[in-house]
A and B are shown apart, each in its own frame.
Chain A
Amino acid sequence: MIKSDRILGLVTILVALAYIASAFQIQASFLTDPVGSKTFPILIGAVAALCGLVIFARPDPDPDWPEMSGWLRLALATAVMVGYAYSLKPFGFVLTTAFAAAALSWMIQPRIGTAVVTGIGLSAGLYALFKFVLGLGLKPWPAAFTG
């Protein structure tokens, strides 16, 4: 089994090199100073690459990674969040929040009933809080509902 830190070190080195390469592409401007736009990013990239080398050479013991089911839940949670980010504007606050909150709640405590109640409760409660206490201009429903 490859140690996680070896992978971290390798990824760091690659990203740092790409970062340095990209820094060389920064266009010069007619406003110049002795340092310029490139030097500092290149410096950062170089230090990061060095850190990557050290991490690769001297890896720490592996952390406790979650099991397969844990990864699955984390991936699902990420998908829910990404979906929420995309749908918040077109579909309004109330429905999307109820769904997303219920899904996250279910992932922490897999009981459908509690999750549904949590989702609906959080959606309604937070909407009331944001709308009436904090006065945010949130759109509650999809545009199609209200015309």
Chain B
Amino acid sequence: MELLSNLAVGFSVALSPYTLMLAVIGCFAGTIVGALPGLGPSNGVAIMIPLAFTLGLDATASLVLLTSVYYGAMYGGRISSILLNIPGDEPALMTTLDGYPMAKQGRAGDALVISGVASFVGAFFATIGLMLLAPVLARVAYLFGPAEYFALYLLAFATLGGMASKNQAKAALASCLGLGIAMIGLDTTTGMPRFTFGNMHLMDGIDFLVAIVGLFAVAEVFFFIESHGKSSAIGVKLGKITIPLRDLKKSTVAMARSTVIGFVAGVLPGAGASLGSFLAYMSEKSMGRGGVPMGTGNPRGVAAPEAGNNAAAGGALVPMLTLGVPGSGTTAVLLALLMTLNITPGPTLFTDRPEVVWGLIASLLIANIVLLIMNVPLVKVFVKVLMVPPWVLLPGVMMVSFVGIYSLTGSYFDLLLMVGFGVLGYVLRKLDVPTVPVILGILLGNSMEEALRRAMVLSDGDWTYLFSSGIAIGLWTAAVAGFVAPIFLRKFLRKPVIAPADKIID
């Protein structure tokens, strides 16, 4: 029972009072971040990273804190979906379809409880899935040489980009932009400066935390300034919270099915939580028989997408931990955290730093239980937070981002760079160029180049080496398919439009 002994190691790390406290703080902050419209999980984690560093947390502690924020944000997204008809983050979009109608019928409390339980089911079983699948995948990953890794990185860009934008050319451009930025600084192999234009500040390259906080958090502030922060104000009153046992029982099957769908969607590189919740809802819709039609306040329509998106959140950690290739935008940000902590994700992580991996898994299980308590009986606390007006919230976010980056690097140049990335993020998102591939490019650029160069050293400059193994060819095929398929599937995968909501953010 290797698994159980591993888990015991994990709990011995994660159950210390200090890490438990961090998990509670992380869950609380995460749920708030998720619930606030416009601040998604990637934003939340990105803002917290510099703070975790300035607190001087060690690797396990910062991982516990930030994954709690991550899971918390996934739980929190549903709150504003249900009460305001504004998704708190993108994966929570599908929850508005049945959640808001339920709230209008005076069943907001029921919807919150059902979705909270569904989130728990999805996240909890996905974490168990992660526990079982990750070590297996880690063993497979030992077979990967540089050629396979190069193809794998390409696959991540292809699928993430393919899903993220309506225009493949723009998605590819976003990846190139990120990769191009990653090249700035000293060449890791030869030590020669590239694209620094003699600027000393650029010698070390561009810190990806600066880029992440700029592209996500600062760009968000620009969007709010443009829209005058119109998307506040409580839509629906929340009555007394009771547990709707009958509805919960009726949606058990929906939750189980959606958990499986969501987990698989999460494990696929690039697909992530939005696809998980989308597929879960759609399959529930096609299978639904009897009862209230979906879209008019059906409890199963609340349970399915929430189980799906939380399961995908757990699933997305699998490729991130075992291969170093994130499955979603937020796991890309978590990868940035690992890299800053000098932890290289990949198969060796499981043998070299078992306490990190298993501590993380144990803390995810703990975080889930904490989140269930916070999000079902205590959900009213978070509803209060939704009333913080944007003209207080957004300047606050701004200042935390500035101080976080400043205390991390102590240089005004990085602050200017962050503002620059904010402007860039605003323009890109306006033009429907996705920003997540940019982040992925900055994160993976150097590893991708190194994989290419190592492959070429091994083959003495023979480019056909890139296609020389079965795994590599499979990955290349998947990459091409993942990039091209959304063009044809777009007709079927069209996201439903939510009628009265002002806008969709993040």
Contact = CB atoms under 8 A, between A and B. Distances in A.
Interface string A31-63: 111111100110011011001101100101001
Contact of A135 (B55, B187, B418): B55
- With most chain B CB atoms within 10 A of its CB, the pick from A31, A65, A81, A115 is A81
Nearest to B180: A44
A96 to B, nearest CB: 10
Interface residues of A, number: 71
B176 A44 contact: yes
A36 B228 CA distance: 50
Interface string A83-117: 01110110001000100111011111100001100
B338 interface: no
A48 B189 contact: no
B395 A88 contact: no
Contacts of A141: none
A35 B453 contact: yes
Interface in B157-180: 166-167, 169-170, 172-173, 176-177, 179-180
Interface size class for chain B? 35 or more
B214 to A, nearest CB: 10
A108 B229 contact: yes
Contact of B412 (A47, A55, A85): A85
| Main DSSP-derived SS at the A contact region | helix
A2 interface: no
Contact of A115 (B183, B229, B391): B391
B467 interface: no
B399 interface: yes
Interface string A7-34: 0100010001001001100111101111
B226 A29 contact: no
A66 interface: yes
Contacts of A54: 169
A89 B430 contact: no
A105 B391 contact: yes
A134 interface: yes
Contacts of B106: none
A118 B453 CA distance: 53
A109 B389 contact: yes
Contacts of B218: 81
A141 B170 CA distance: 46
Contact of A108 (B391, B453, B456): B391
A99 to B, nearest CB: 11
Contact of B416 (A82, A93, A138): A82
A31 B189 contact: yes
B192 interface: yes
B392 interface: yes
- With most chain A CB atoms within 10 A of its CB, the pick from B187, B224, B456 is B187
Contacts of B453: 33-35, 40
A120 B452 CA distance: 53
Contacts of B192: 26-29, 37
Given A33-B456, A54-B169, A82-B419, A134 B51 contact: yes
B221 A37 contact: no
Interface string B406-427: 1100001001101100110010
A75 to B, nearest CB: 10
Given A51-B169, A63-B431, A104-B395, A33 B457 contact: yes
Interface in B185-213: 187, 189-192, 194-195
Nearest to A37: B187
B256 interface: no
Contacts of A105: 391-392, 394-395
A118 B399 contact: no
Given A40-B183, A41-B194, A122 B392 contact: yes
Contact of B456 (A26, A28, A35, A93): A35
B461 A34 contact: yes
A122 B390 contact: no
A44 B423 contact: no
Given A47-B176, A109-B228, A88 B412 contact: yes
B396 interface: yes
A57 to B, nearest CB: 9
A87 to B, nearest CB: 9
A142 to B, nearest CB: 15
Nearest to B168: A54
B449 interface: yes
A60 B432 contact: yes
Contact of B180 (A19, A26, A55): A19
B242 interface: no
18 contacts: A22-B195, A33-B190, A35-B452, A41-B183, A54-B169, A60-B170, A74-B426, A77-B221, A78-B419, A78-B423, A85-B402, A86-B412, A89-B412, A104-B395, A105-B391, A108-B224, A134-B51, A137-B407
A-B pairs, 3 with minimum CB distance: A34-B461, A85-B415, A29-B190
Interface of A: 4-5, 8, 12, 16, 19, 22-23, 26-29, 31-37, 40-41, 44-45, 47-48, 51-52, 54-55, 58, 60, 63, 65-66, 70, 73-74, 77-78, 81-82, 84-86, 88-89, 93, 97, 100-102, 104-109, 114-115, 118-119, 121-123, 126, 130, 134-138
Given A77-B225, A108-B225, A109-B229, 6 more contacts: A41-B183, A52-B173, A60-B166, A81-B419, A105-B395, A106-B391
